[in-house]
Chains A and B, each alone.
Chain A
C-alpha cells in the first residue's frame, strides 16, 4: 500500500510546525496582539521575508529540482505586486477623490470621479487618462485573478517558446534574464501605463481598513504571508514527491534520457515553470502591500540573480534549504546594510559594513559554490547522518 504523502515527506510536517511556532511567537511579541516587543516595521520586515522565502521555494523547485536556472522569476514576483498594487492604488485614490468631491455643492458624476482618480494617479507622468491595462483595477476580485493570470500567462508563453525550441542551460538563463530586463525597461517608460519609474506607491494603505492602523494590518499580512508560505511549501513538496517529482529530477539530471524514456519533457518543464511563476506572483502580491511601493527597479535582472544566490546558499534541491537561504541572507543583508553590524577598525583602515557587505556576500557566495555546494541545508544531512 502507498504510504501517505506526509509519511513520505516528514520534513513537511516539521517545517509546518516550525512555521506555526514562529508565527505564534511573533504574534505574542507583536504590538497589535501581544506584548509589543517587536515594532510594526520589524513585523513588516518579517512578513516580507516570508514572501521572499515563498518565491525562494518556487525558485528552488524550478532550479534545484527541474534544473532550469531561471534568472527571471522576480519579474513574475513584480507582476503580482503590480497587479495587486493597481487595485490598492485605484481604490485608495477613489476614496480620497469621492470624499473631496462630495464636499462640493453639486454631487459628482461618475465621469468626474473617474477623471479625478485618473488625474491623481497619472498626474506624475503627465497624463490623466486610464490606460487599457487598468480596465479591471476597480475590482479586487478581478485584480486578484490578474495576480495569478498575468505571471502565469507570461510564463506559459515564454516557457512554451523557450522549451519548444529546446533552449537549455546557460542559454535559457540568459534568455530569462533578457525577459526580465525587457520587462523592467518597458515599465520604466512613462507611457507604459504603470507610472514609469515612479511605480505604484502608498500600497501600505489598505482601502477601507484605515481605522485598523498599520500595527494590526501588518500582522494580518504577516499571517497571510505565513499561510501562503505554508501552503506553497506543501504544494511544492507534493509536486516534487511521487512519480512526478522523479520525472522532474530526471529532467534535471539528464534531459535527453528522460525524453528517450518517452516522457514529454517540454510539458513537465512548462508546468513547473508556469506553476512557480504563479506562486512567485502570489508572493509578490503579498510582499508589495507590506513594502508600500513597487517600481520597475524591483524587477531588474539583479534581483532574480540574488534569488538564485539565496537558494544556492540555502541549499538547492531541498525546499527548506531555500527558506533558510532566503531568510538568512535577506535578514543578514538588512542587518549589515542597515548599519547593525559593528565596524572593524584595522588601525590603518576601518571596515564599514555598509561598504563591505557586498564584497563579503560575493566572496562567501563563491566560497559556498566551491566548498559547500549543498549550502546551509547540507548541514542537516551532516547532522542526520552522523546520528542515525
Chain B
C-alpha cells in the first residue's frame, strides 16, 4: 500500500515536471526562443535569459557573452545560431561543442546586434558567472557591476563565489558586498540583523545608503492604527505636521474631497456671471474673500459648483484619522537593527566630519597665514598698511605662470618659481618703499591711500598684460589627488603642501627675527625706532629690508594660492580683506599673533560654513560681524604688544 502511494506520488511529480518541462540543452532553449534571440526586446528578453541560466551549463556563459558582444550569427536558411571563425568562406562554429561544423558565404548569415538595453540585461545575467571567472579582471568587473546596481538575485551567486575566490583583496570586497546585500535582501531576519550589526562599524557612503534604503518610509493615513504594519512614527497633528499638510495627505489618499483653491473659486465665479451678478452678489463687490465665499456658497447650493470645504470640515476630517509613517520594510527586527546601526554610523561620521573640518580649517588657516604674515611684518615694523599687498600675491602667482611658460616640467618650474616669485616681489616691495612709502611715514592714513593707488594701477596693468581670463598654474603630478583616510576624511596633497610651506615660513621667520642680526634690528625698530637709530641701527635700511621681506613672502604665497585657485588679476583683492582681518585679529608686529589670527579666522570660517554649508556668503558675513565684535573686546588683537612697544 505504501509502496503504491509512493509510486503514485512519483508518477504525479514526473507528470508535473513533464508539463513544465525545461528544455534539456542549449540548442533546445535556442529553438524555443529563436524569435526573441534574433530580435530581442529589453523587457521580454528576461524570460530567455532565465531559461538559459536554468541550464547552468558552461557553454551558456560563453553564449551569453558572445551574444552580448554581438558575436552571435544566424544562418538565414534554417534559423540556426552559430559563432563564426576567420576565413573565407566563413567557418561556422557550433554553440555547444565549439567545433567548426560547416561554412557559409557572408550573404548567407546574419550578425545579431542586440541593443544597449538588452545587452545590459545580458550583462547583469552574466555577472553571476563572471564572479567565478578565472580572469581576475572579469571578477572585479562583476563585483563592480553588483556594487553599482545591487539586486536580490545576485546575493546567492555572490555568496557561492566567495569560498573559491583566490585573490585575498577581492575576497574581502566580495565579503563586504555580500554583507551589504545580505542586509537588504537576506533570507532570514537573523541573517539580516547580523549583517546589519556587522556593518554598523563602518561609515562609508554605500553602507549609509543601504541603511537608508532599509529604513525608507512612506506616509500613511487611516482611521485607526493598523496592527500589522511596521510603523516608524505616529504623527501628532499640530506639532509634527500642520493641519493643512494632514488634510493634503487625506486628499491624496482619497479619504477627503480636495480643497477648492482661491483660484478655482475665482474662476468658478467668473464662469457664472449673470447680468452683473454672481449668486446674487454684484460683481463689483467681489473684491473680498468673504464676499466671494458667500457668492460661491450660493452657487454651491444651486449645485452649479462643488461645495466649499470649510475649516470645520478640515478639522473634523483630520481629527477622525491617524497619520503615521511606515517602513517599507515589514520586519521590525530588521528596522530596529538598522536604526541602531544608523545611529552608530551617524556618530562615527560626526566624529570623522569634525576631523575633516579640523583639517579644512588647518589648511585655510595656513593659507591665511601665508597671505597675511607679510602684511603683519610691514604693519608691525613700520605701522604701514600696504593695500597693494594683494597685488604682490597676484604678482607672485603670475611669476609662477610665466615660469611655467618657459619651463614645461612642472616640478622643476615650481622649484624655480618659488625663489623667483620671492625675488620679483622683494624687488617690487623695495622699489615701492623707496619711491613712495618712505615719504609718508608720518602719515599712515595717506600711506593706505597711496598704496591703494598702486594697487589699482598694478591690477589694471596685470589685466592689460595677461588679459582678463584666468591663467592656470599647474601643480606637479605628485601633488595631484588627495590623501583619503576614509569616505569622510580626505585632504588634497596641495593643501598639505601649503600647510608644510606655511610651517616652513613660520620657522624661517621665527629664526630670522629671533636668531639673526637682521631680526634683532627689526625688533629694535619695531619697539622704538628713535632709540634704535641712536644705537647705530639704520632704520631706513631696516624698513626697506622688512618691506621687501614682507612683499617677498606675499609672492611665495601667490605661487601657493595659484596652485589651487586660478590666477587672475583680481586674486589679490580676494585675499586682502581676509589678510587685514588676520592681522587685526591676531595683533600687530608678532608672528605668533598672525598665526593665532589666521587659525581663528580659518577655523571660524570653516566652522560657520559647516553649520550652514549651502551658504558661504552668509558664513563670510557672520565671520566679519564676529571680527567687528571681537575688536570691541580686544582692540589690539589676540597677541597685543605691551608697554611702550604698543606705540600709543
**A contact residues vs B (CB 8 Å cutoff):** 63, 69, 104-112, 158, 161-162, 164-167, 169-171, 173-175, 177-179, 181-182, 185-186, 188-189, 256, 301-302, 305, 308-309, 312, 355-359, 361-366, 369-370, 373
Decide if the interface of chain A is mainly helix, strand, loop or mixed: helix
Say whether B464 faces chain A, with CB atoms less than 8 Å apart: yes
Q: Tally the A-B contacts, defined by beta carbons under 8 Å.
A: 154
Q: Establish whether residues B584 and A174, one from each chain, have CB atoms under 8 Å apart when the complex forms.
A: yes
- Report the minimal beta-carbon distance from B594 to chain A, rounded to whole angstroms: 15
Note all chain B residues with C-beta closer than 8 A to A175.
584, 628, 631
- Report the minimal beta-carbon distance from B124 to chain A, rounded to whole angstroms: 41
Q: Establish whether residues B577 and A181, one from each chain, have CB atoms under 8 Å apart when the complex forms.
A: yes
Say whether B273 faces chain A, with CB atoms less than 8 Å apart: yes
Partner of A165, one of B573, B618, B620, B632: B632
Closest to A186 in B: B621
Interface with A: B168-176, B336-344, B364-372, B454-462, which one? B454-462
Measured in the bound complex, the distance between the Cα atoms of B292 and A127 in whole Å is: 27
Note all chain A residues with C-beta closer than 8 A to B648.
256
Say whether B446 faces chain A, with CB atoms less than 8 Å apart: yes
Q: A63-B445, A373-B443, A373-B446 are in contact. List 13 more A-B contacts (CB 8 A).
A: A105-B269, A105-B270, A164-B632, A170-B444, A182-B624, A186-B618, A312-B449, A358-B456, A358-B460, A359-B464, A362-B453, A362-B458, A365-B452
Q: Establish whether residues A370 and B440, one from each chain, have CB atoms under 8 Å apart when the complex forms.
A: yes
Interface with A: B17-25, B113-121, B279-287, B514-522, which one? B279-287
- Report the minimal beta-carbon distance from A262 to chain B, rounded to whole angstroms: 20
Q: Establish whether residues B584 and A171, one from each chain, have CB atoms under 8 Å apart when the complex forms.
A: yes
Partner of A178, one of B379, B383, B461, B627: B627
Beta-carbon contacts under 8 Å, B605-632 to A: 615, 617-618, 620-621, 624-625, 627-629, 631-632
Partner of A308, one of B269, B449, B459: B449
Beta-carbon contacts under 8 Å, B438-475 to A: 439-440, 443-446, 448-450, 452-461, 463-464
Say whether B581 faces chain A, with CB atoms less than 8 Å apart: yes
Say whether B502 faces chain A, with CB atoms less than 8 Å apart: no
A369-B292 contact given A106-B266, A106-B283, A171-B635, CB 8 Å threshold? no
**B contact residues vs A (CB 8 Å cutoff):** 262, 266, 269-270, 273, 278, 283-284, 286-289, 292, 379, 383, 385, 436, 439-440, 443-446, 448-450, 452-461, 463-464, 573, 577, 580-581, 584, 615, 617-618, 620-621, 624-625, 627-629, 631-633, 635, 648
Closest to B457 in A: A362
- Of B283, B584, B617, B632, most buried by chain A (CB within 10 Å of CB) is B617
17 contacts between A and B (CB under 8 A): A69-B448, A106-B283, A106-B292, A161-B632, A173-B445, A174-B584, A179-B628, A181-B624, A182-B620, A189-B621, A305-B449, A355-B464, A356-B460, A361-B457, A362-B453, A366-B454, A370-B436
Q: Establish whether residues B449 and A369, one from each chain, have CB atoms under 8 Å apart when the complex forms.
A: yes
Note all chain A residues with C-beta closer than 8 A to B454.
362, 366
Measured in the bound complex, the distance between the Cα atoms of B461 and A363 in whole Å is: 11
Note all chain B residues with C-beta closer than 8 A to A308.
449
Note all chain A residues with C-beta closer than 8 A to B581.
174, 178
State the 3 A-B residue pairs at the shortest beta-carbon distance, nearest first: A362-B457, A365-B453, A358-B460
Closest to B588 in A: A171
Measured in the bound complex, the distance between the Cα atoms of B459 and A362 in whole Å is: 10
